[in-house]
Structure 1
Amino acid sequence: MILLTGATGTIGREVLRLLPPGLPARIMARAPERVVRGHPEVRVVRGDFGDQDSLLRAARGVRTAFLVTSRIGDDDLRFLDAAREAGVRRVVKLSAAGVLDPLAGDAITRWQRRNEELWQHSGLEWTLLRPRAFMSNALAWAPMVRERGVVRALYGRSGHACVDPRDVAAVAVLALTEQGHAGRRYTLTGPAAVSAAQQTAHLGEALGRRLRFEEMDAEEACAALRRRYPREVADALMEKAERLRAGGKEEVGAAVPALLGRPAGSFRTWARDHADAFGPAPAKEARPRCAPGPGGS
């Protein structure tokens, strides 16, 4: 039995979609009604990282778990306690590439490093997935693209080896269903470092219209983040942006093509596949989570 957490999020939805038919799986979700149900073998249970009893119920009978946590705190520790009691043997943990940067000392990265250390000393089998920021973060630009034909971002000329969430999910499914991944740490990137200005051009190409890129200034970006997030999180995201400006997120890794046997997905392909999200009159606005998780590294 495999347990999936984060199944309503960017990566978890894709993992659920890619699970092989016939594989028994359990989904833990705070809101089970939001889970897009897959194969008949998949069951959904209500659970919350703040409710230890629900964690234990979700983990009973599980051999392998996919763990996604997104708020600074002790959710990983609570899940580990439940996993040990329930007899879980292996955890595939979604982390972030930023943990590798010796200059990264923001609150989010410190929390991610603590979580990695927790699992590496847990006594369970573990696999760490360390993606760069998700290409799907560009969905946050959809309203301004739709209404004004503009993308506005901070440090928009700096390259970022962002990764297609579908590639991250495909690697996660391998780690969950195959042997040989215990004790491994996989840094997951796209095939090239692409700036926000270049992403804007690719989006315009996919949409068949000319888009304009506008550079945000740091004060404006910081104020916008503080309106949306707690100050600690907003400040951490600004620190991450400074590392982007300094070129700290340009390096392209080899793990995705090595593991999947094909090239990593490009932003141009991602933009083409998701062009409808930037087009007119969507049924529902796409608003990705930008919580203090791996998507921002």
Structure 2
Amino acid sequence: MEKIGVLTSGGDAPGMNAAIRAVVRKAIYHGVDVYGIKNGYQGLIDGNMEKMEIGSVGDIIQRGGTILRSARCDEFKTDEGQEKGIAQLKKFGIDGLIVIGGDGSFRGAQKLTEKGYPCVGVPGTIDNDISGTDFTIGFDTALNTIIEAIDKIRDTATSHERTYVIEVMGRDAGDLALWAGLADGAESILIPEKSDDFSEVIDRLTRGHERGKKHSIIVLAEGVGSGFSYGQRIQEATNLETRVTVLGHIQRGGSPTAQDRVLASRLGAQAVDILLSEKAGRMVGIENNMLVDHDIQEVLSSKHHINFDMYKLSKELSI
């Protein structure tokens, strides 16, 4: 390959810039030109791309978001939209593409591969909901953002003797809620993969209150439902003063942690190696701290699973 492209798609995640940097510099190291495609698949359709140099990715490893920006593109889900993207790839002479994003982004990469344009996916999403990898880029940073927020909320919860329900992101995956709840000693962790009996949550709150506990923290994954609705149910059932905090998009921003910077650098560089080895339709990942790659179709057809041992431990420690 003489030219490759790189784009970021879907929701942004801290560490995407570190991955872009790794892709660009690893490719240039191998004598391959790199074109940055802006605004995801929409930019691909529009031909919004430019050649990147070593200096193009200088001083970005510590920055959140993505310098290539991102956009959702319904048009690319159609054959017509995909053909427009392929026409632009041909126009710029691009031989292969690296896609940094989540499962929706990988579906686009798979379609391009099926139509003759080799693609490699790099998992970048704070939700950590992609199979075939232990961690996705952005998860660790988002997790630390949540933990910092809960630590501060706990100060207020203690001062006012309140119960707090904290709603976190994750789409249909509970990893952010589970890890944050365990790290912050939450009384209850509510995740979509495991239905928690409401009466069990109330019993745990009641027991704590009866033994003199002055505050409680409940972490709720957005895939379970509305934090405000859940908080209202708790207050009605216990008569304990209950407040709700929805952390929202603050979880996506901020400078990536060391963990995410290193992970993104390793996965971005590995994606270049995979593409240059003439393998296509793959996703790079990390399992047991070892770099791996999987067929994107297999990744998309498999379900990510949470660590139920951690979930069990959270129950045991919140007695």
TM range (shorter): 0.3 to 0.5
Scaled by the length of structure 1, what TM-score is found? 0.39
Whichever of the two has the greater Rg, that structure is: 2
